[in-house]
């Protein structure tokens, strides 16, 4: 016999450091794979309201995964293991997420089953853990739960407007994804594993689309501004009529249309998050932010165009050529081409010129959009620089390969433009003719500030413009 004091307090079973890190790692893996799946289905979703919601939630999910990962490492978790030996049960569950038949089913499954199951797992964890001993986890999980509940509410509201039957109680796919959690003993793995019939099992593997479609409310259009297609002479002339109204007016309209169409950049980056399945964690964290930023830039343009009271689907070209021309390219080549464009625009000082002209137009909204866009773009260039070096190597062979990939990508893109130059969808004149008349009726006089900047259209590809 030995002598001891009674225990100072009772503790719940399975709430120590080892169990906590084990449970949280399962949740991290689930969040990480959820993030990649949201990125892929963001690309494959055409409905604009759903699409930008998916991008927002994908980025928040990257923050959730990152917070969990950081916390796991604090819990005496060997760094070398946090991204190794992912739980096979969790991977089996998350591997099903993408196998939805269409956007509606995907949204129903994620927001009707996966997010509620994650919220349940975090709530159960909070019920069990010690608020004092495990306070940092408590803080993180409360924040994650709050984000996820807001995501579910926003998507339910959107769905009620777009597809009222989306969250029907008896949706087979939703029930399947929810039932699957009991098969794996709960997200955190604390529950008993129960075998249940898997009615939706054995669906074919998911493959991300190499061709995107735009929202059905818009006309099908390849390009959005005349510099993209040197063959479209009527389109360029129609645009020049808008330029003649005033270079300030032209910049206001150009920057809004251009921003709106940056969705292609988001799609390129998000597709890479799916295509590269086993990269280091910071790769996904950076690309998630990059893809979300580009969706924000697209939304900035959409908001500006709506702000002028325009019927955006009727008036504004929303092209798909940028992403679709890249269809045959390997993922790394798409990233190389995007980096080439972004780095070139920043190096040319284009943003400063655009902001000066927008200030001269006294368009405070567009100035602020462009100012924040500029801040984001500087980060993107650093992402591109870092991750292309990571993927290609930081030696002269890597640099040569980057140049080769970029040159080849530009040639593929130029061929795509040439191949499609006579398509009816390649013609922009009808858009700019309609817009011209609407703009001409809306413009008003302000004092001339003598702005002395000659503005040429944004140079996306200098070689293409040289040939004009
Ligand atoms: Fe952008
Ligand atoms: Fe960017």
Q: Half-sphere exposure of 353 toward its Cβ, with a 13 Å CA cutoff?
A: 17
Tell whether the model's pLDDT for residue 435 goes beyond 70: yes
Per-residue pLDDT tens digits for 173-213? 999 999 999 999 999 888 888 886 667 778 999 999 999 99
CA distance 331 to 172: 34
Instruction: Tell me, in angstroms, the distance from the centre of ligand 2 to residue 110's CA.
Output: 28
Tell whether the model's pLDDT for residue 462 goes beyond 60: no
pLDDT of residue 91: 96
pLDDT of residue 460: 43
Tell whether the model's pLDDT for residue 160 goes beyond 90: no
Tell whether the model's pLDDT for residue 466 goes beyond 60: no
pLDDT of residue 202: 84
Phi and psi, residue 319, nearest 5°: -75, 160
Instruction: Tell me, in angstroms, the distance from the centre of ligand 1 to residue 114's CA.
Output: 30
pLDDT of residue 194: 84
Per-residue burial over 298-337, b = 16 or more CB atoms within 10 Å of its CB, e = otherwise: bbbbbebbeeeebebeebbbbbbbbbbbbeebebbbbbbb
Ligand positioned closest to the Cα atom of 383: 2
Per-residue pLDDT tens digits for 367-382? 999 999 999 999 999 9
317-327 mean pLDDT: 95
- Kindly list the structural domains of the chain, giving each domain's residue range(s) and its CATH number in brackets, ordered by start: 17-183 (1.20.1260.10), 226-466 (1.20.1260)
Mean pLDDT estimate for the chain: 93
Instruction: Tell me, in angstroms, the distance from the centre of ligand 1 to residue 262's CA.
Output: 6
Instruction: Tell me, in angstroms, the distance from the centre of ligand 2 to residue 290's CA.
Output: 7
CB 179 within 8 A of CB 196: yes
CA distance 385 to 353: 24
Instruction: Tell me, in angstroms, the distance from the centre of ligand 2 to residue 342's CA.
Output: 6
For 101-106, the CB contacts below 8 A with 24+ separation are: 101/173, 103/41, 103/44, 103/45, 103/46, 103/47, 103/50, 104/163, 104/166, 105/171, 105/173, 106/41, 106/45
302-314 mean pLDDT: 98
Ligand positioned closest to the Cα atom of 268: 2
Supply 45's token pair: 């979703």
**Number of residues that make up the chain:** 468
Instruction: Tell me, in angstroms, the distance from the centre of ligand 2 to residue 265's CA.
Output: 7
Q: How confident is the model at residue 349 (pLDDT cuts 50, 70, 90)?
A: confident
pLDDT of residue 175: 92
pLDDT of residue 346: 84
DSSP-derived 3-state class of residue 125: helix
Give the environment of ion ligand 1: residues with CB less than 5 A. Answer: 262, 294, 297
pLDDT of residue 77: 81
Supply 284's token pair: 């996904």
161-168 mean pLDDT: 74
Q: How confident is the model at residue 458 (pLDDT cuts 50, 70, 90)?
A: very low
Per-residue pLDDT tens digits for 169-178? 568 999 999 9
Supply 172's token pair: 């087979």
Instruction: Tell me, in angstroms, the distance from the centre of ligand 1 to residue 259's CA.
Output: 7
6-33 mean pLDDT: 95
92-101 mean pLDDT: 96
Ligand positioned closest to the Cα atom of 378: 2
């Amino acid at each position: 016999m030995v002598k001891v004091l009674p225990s100072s307090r009772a503790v719940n079973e399975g709430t120590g450091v080892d169990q906590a890190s084990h449970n949280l790692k399962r949740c991290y893996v689930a969040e990480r794979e959820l993030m990649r799946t949201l990125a892929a289905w963001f690309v494959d979703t055409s409905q604009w309201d759903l699409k930008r919601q998916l991008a927002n939630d994908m980025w928040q999910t990257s923050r959730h995964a990152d917070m969990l990962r950081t916390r796991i490492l604090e819990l005496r978790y060997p760094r070398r293991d946090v991204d190794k030996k992912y739980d096979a049960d969790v991977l089996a569950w998350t591997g099903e997420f993408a196998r939805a038949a269409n956007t509606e089913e995907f949204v129903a499954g994620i927001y009707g089953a996966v997010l509620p199951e994650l919220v349940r797992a975090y709530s159960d964890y909070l019920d069990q853990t010690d608020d004092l001993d495990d306070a940092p986890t408590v803080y993180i999980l409360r924040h994650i739960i709050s984000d996820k509940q807001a995501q579910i509410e926003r998507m339910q509201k959107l769905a009620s407007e777009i597809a009222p039957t989306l969250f029907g109680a008896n949706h087979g796919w939703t029930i399947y994804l929810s039932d699957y959690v009991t098969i794996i003993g709960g997200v955190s793995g604390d529950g008993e594993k129960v075998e249940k019939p898997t009615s939706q099992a054995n669906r074919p593997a998911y493959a991300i689309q190499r061709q995107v479609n735009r929202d059905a409310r818009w006309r099908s259009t390849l390009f959005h501004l005349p510099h993209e297609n040197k063959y479209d002479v009527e389109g360029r002339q129609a645009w020049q009529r808008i330029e003649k109204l005033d270079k300030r007016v032209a910049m206001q309209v150009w920057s809004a249309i251009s921003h709106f169409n940056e969705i292609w950049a988001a799609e390129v980056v998000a597709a890479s998050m799916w295509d590269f399945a086993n990269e280091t964690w910071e790769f996904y964290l950076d690309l998630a932010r990059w893809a979300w930023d580009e969706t924000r830039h697209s939304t900035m343009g959409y908001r500006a165009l709506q702000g002028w009271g325009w019927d955006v689907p009727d008036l504004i070209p929303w092209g798909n050529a940028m992403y679709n021309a890249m269809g045959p390219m390997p993922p790394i080549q798409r990233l190389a081409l995007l980096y080439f464009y972004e780095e070139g625009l920043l190096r040319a000082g284009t943003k400063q010129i655009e902001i000066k002209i927008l200030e001269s137009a006294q368009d405070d909204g567009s100035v602020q959009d462009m100012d924040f866009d500029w801040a984001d773009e500087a980060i993107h260039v650093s992402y591109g620089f870092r991750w292309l070096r990571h993927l290609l190597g930081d030696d002269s062979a890597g640099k040569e390969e980057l140049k080769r990939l970029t040159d080849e990508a530009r040639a593929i893109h130029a061929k795509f433009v040439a191949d499609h130059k006579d398509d009816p969808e390649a013609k922009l004149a009808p858009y700019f003719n309609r817009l011209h008349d609407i703009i001409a009726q809306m413009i008003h006089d302000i004092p001339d500030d003598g702005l002395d900047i000659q503005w040429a259209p944004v140079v996306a590809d200098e070689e293409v413009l040289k040939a004009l």
